[in-house]
């Protein structure tokens, strides 16, 4: 049986700060980057590729942490690891001198766990979403972690929910293969883009089939107000749309403040405000009819998010957060406190696929749609698999989850298996049996 023999890490950085890509109220000059790991086995055809997302300086520190976590896998038999991925994840986190529930070690564990799942999928000759969606409810539960969250969802509850979702799995898979998975676009609304560029990119996005748009806010209220109403004036104007356009189904727009053309606007403050500031600023933008305000305050402030959500409810504006939630316990508390309307997991902030599965289960139980954060290097490629798993095997719905993915239209060329879109602004379902969980193409000039 193959066993893991060695690994390598790479520090990959892209100078996105030069063009303003990725700019927001808290991260004005960020360079989208990734710390990657490749797990090698004694089989020449079996590898596992994993990554965690970073924004420039500090990527080298994450690579150092990855080495410490990955060392625990050397000499391990892959079939034994794959037989119980939940137990394997516990083992990765169990080093008493490294054990940490968030921070650098958690980011590093994400890269290593993602690499293991990538290897598992390649070993079974299935893309990751298909590997997990095809699992029995018992296999699914065994592949995640329930430690510290059983007061929110027990293994028995998860099993019952997954068994119920078994009905219709084949039909859901066939449907999403046919029509694609719905996406939204943030690339038109970065904070450092001028008004002309924003207007041009919004119109181009409409032409590409998008109906959901997200903009960055929080640096200056007057700029936010002007840009929000600029975007709203374009996406509500019938002249902006191609001949034959028809709005999305009403069910997918419920509660989203959609305009007359069925278009939805979201706003992202990237944690810049205190609680009272968040309420005041967002209420001031209510005329632009946002569906939600994302990360209105510190990501660890559960009760702050709950207070903001309560204050904004009369305005019909929801609250979304999660891309900086460090672990499943944070999501558990956000759900229990009724603090969010949209759950935004991050494939590299949580400690890999194993921990993410537990958040998908909790969100489904609480009836909160999961819309992954997916704007950085490799996150679109990762998040697509997670949303497909959620739709096919867990929540059974992509009606309310129409925004599960954010599409950034740059840096995909660095991937062997880049995500692609159809003409309706939806992601195509990846189907390459060797695609795994997607991997970064490491050109010589990128190796760090």
Active site residues: 216, 373
Which among 155, 133, 153 has a CA at the least distance from the CA of 142? 155
SS3 13: strand
d(CA 50, CA 36): 6
CB-based burial, 226-257: b 16+ in 10 Å, e otherwise: ebbebbbebbbeeebbeeeeeebeeebbeebb
Three-class DSSP category at 250: helix
Per residue, the 3-state secondary structure of 256-304, as one string, reads CCCCCCCCEEEEECCCCCCHHHHHHHHHHCHHHCEEEEECCCCCCCHHH
Angle 135-137-142 (CA atoms, 0-180°, nearest 5)?
85
Which position has the token pair 């029509």?
A: 179
- 89 with 352: CB under 8 angstroms? yes
Calpha distance 284→280 (Å, rounded): 6
3-state secondary structure at position 193 = coil
- Please say whether the beta carbons of 248 and 402 come within 8 A: yes
Contact indicator for 428, 389 with CB cutoff of 8 Å: no
Token pair 């690339």 is at which residue?
187
Distance between CA 290 and CA 317 in Å, rounded? 6
């Amino acid at each position: 049986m193959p066993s893991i023999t060695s690994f390598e890490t790479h520090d990959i950085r892209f100078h996105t700060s030069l063009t303003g890509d990725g700019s927001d109220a808290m991260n004005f000059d960020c360079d989208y980057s990734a710390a990657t790991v490749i797990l090698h086995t004694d089989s020449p055809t079996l590898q596992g590729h994993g990554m965690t997302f970073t924004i420039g300086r500090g990527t080298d520190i994450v690579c150092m942490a990855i080495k410490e976590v990955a060392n625990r896998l050397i000499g391990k038999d892959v079939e034994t690891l794959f037989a119980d991925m939940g137990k394997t994840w516990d083992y990765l986190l169990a080093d008493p001198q490294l054990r940490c529930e968030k921070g650098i070690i958690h980011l590093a564990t994400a890269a290593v766990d993602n690499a293991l799942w990538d290897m598992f999928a390649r070993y079974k000759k299935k893309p990751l979403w298909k590997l997990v969606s095809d699992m029995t409810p018992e296999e699914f539960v065994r592949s995640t972690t329930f430690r510290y969250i059983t007061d929110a969802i027990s293994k028995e509850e998860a099993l019952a929910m997954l068994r119920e979702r078994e009905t219709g799995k084949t039909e859901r898979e066939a449907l999403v293969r046919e029509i694609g998975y719905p996406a939204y676009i943030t690339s038109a609304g970065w904070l450092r883009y001028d008004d002309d560029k924003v207007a041009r990119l919004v119109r181009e996005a409409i032409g590409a089939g998008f109906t959901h748009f997200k903009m960055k806010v929080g640096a200056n209220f007057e700029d936010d107000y002007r840009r929000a109403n600029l975007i709203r004036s374009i996406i509500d104007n019938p002249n902006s749309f191609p001949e034959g356009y028809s709005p999305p189904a009403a069910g997918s727009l419920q509660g989203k403040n959609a305009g007359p053309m069925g278009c939805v606007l979201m706003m992202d403050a990237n944690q810049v405000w205190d609680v009272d500031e968040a309420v005041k600023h967002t209420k001031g933008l209510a005329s632009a009819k946002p569906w939600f305000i994302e990360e209105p305050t510190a990501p660890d402030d559960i009760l702050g998010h709950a207070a903001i959500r309560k204050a904004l409810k009369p305005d019909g504006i929801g609250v979304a957060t999660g891309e900086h939630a460090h672990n499943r316990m944070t999501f558990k508390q956000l759900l229990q406190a009724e603090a969010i309307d949209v759950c935004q997991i991050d494939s590299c902030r949580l400690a890999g696929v194993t921990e993410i599965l537990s958040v998908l289960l909790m969100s489904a139980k609480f009836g909160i749609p999961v819309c992954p954060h997916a704007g950085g290097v490799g996150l679109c490629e990762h998040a697509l698999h997670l949303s497909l798993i959620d739709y096919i095997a867990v929540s059974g719905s992509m009606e309310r989850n129409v925004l599960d993915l954010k599409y950034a239209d740059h840096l995909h060329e660095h991937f062997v298996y880049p995500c692609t879109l159809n003409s309706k602004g939806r992601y195509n379902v990846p189907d390459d049996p060797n695609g795994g969980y997607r991997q970064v193409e490491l050109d010589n000039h990128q190796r760090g």
